Amino acid sequence: MKKLFVVLTFILFAGNVSAQQSFFTRERLTNMENFDMKPLSWGYFLGFNFYDFNFDYINQQEDHNTDILVKESIGFNVGLVGDLRINNNINLRLEPGLYFTQRNLTFPGFVEAKDYFREVKSTYIHIPLLLKVSTNRLNNFKPFVVAGISTAFNLSSNENNPDDNRQGNFRMKSNPMFYEIGFGIDFYLFYFKFTPSIRGVFAMTNELVPDNDINSPWTSNIENLATHAVFINFTFQ
């Protein structure tokens, strides 16, 4: 997950550099000249996500043969954007959205698939409060960095399900907290502002709901379970 975030960050940064070189070569017609003067603006976003789990173990083996394996998949995001202008370079943003994802877990030490395999589907209502810090506008684009905190409601957490891994149910807490950091570029087109961005999202709380048996072969060795994710969003305002 960290390698993916670095690669995607490099791609977006390279695009930013290329755009700067192109935009600095000559003056261009300014689109939506007064758009950023609005105290409040609204929009929506579509995008993709890559959710992962980070496990900390009570007894960590050097050869990692007891580690739980996580297979990620590409998920889908959709949501709304509310933007409050503080000054020419700072905005406060609220970006509530619906995030769909799936992670497959393989537990070591089991023979049968019903014991070692868990399909963890999650539907999150994700609510971040973000501080956006931008450069001055350069013709029709404006790079920015963004950081903030967020909470989420995992509608598929199984937190209150009395059945645990013994019955095939992997349980998580339904309301994790995160911190987020990323960057993007605002492109001012003729009719709207288009913004591709990338963010890393990191859980600050333990999301694991342990099995009912304190000696459970599935959860007894897990000290902490935290979600890590990469969001790639395309915003239209």
Is residue 143 a contact partner of residue 124, using CB atoms and an 8 Å limit?
no
Cβ of 237: how many Cβ atoms within 10 Å?
18
Encoding tokens for residue 43? 């929009």
CA 175 to chain centroid, in Å, comes to 15
pTM, two decimal places? 0.85
**69: pLDDT strictly greater than 60:** yes
Q: Read off the pLDDT band of 1 (50, 70, 90).
A: low
Could you identify the residue written with the tokens 């992997």?
A: 170
Mean pLDDT of the region 2-9: 49
Q: Is 169 exposed, middle or buried (0-12, 13-18, 19+ CB in 10 A)?
A: middle
Cβ of 164: how many Cβ atoms within 10 Å?
19
More confident residue, 192 or 32: 192
Q: CATH code for 2-236?
A: 2.40.160.20
Mean pLDDT of the region 2-19: 49
Model pLDDT for residues 202-221, shown as the tens digit of each residue:
999 999 999 999 999 999 99
Q: Which amino acid is at 124?
A: Y
Q: What is the pLDDT of residue 176?
A: 96
Residues contacting 14, CB < 8 A, separation 6+ = none
Model pLDDT for residues 32-56, shown as the tens digit of each residue:
888 989 999 999 999 999 999 999 9
**66: pLDDT strictly greater than 90:** no
Percent of the chain with pLDDT over 90: 78
Q: What is the pLDDT of residue 98?
A: 98
Q: Read off the pLDDT band of 28 (50, 70, 90).
A: low
Separation CA 91–CA 73 (nearest Å): 32
Mean pLDDT of the region 111-127: 94
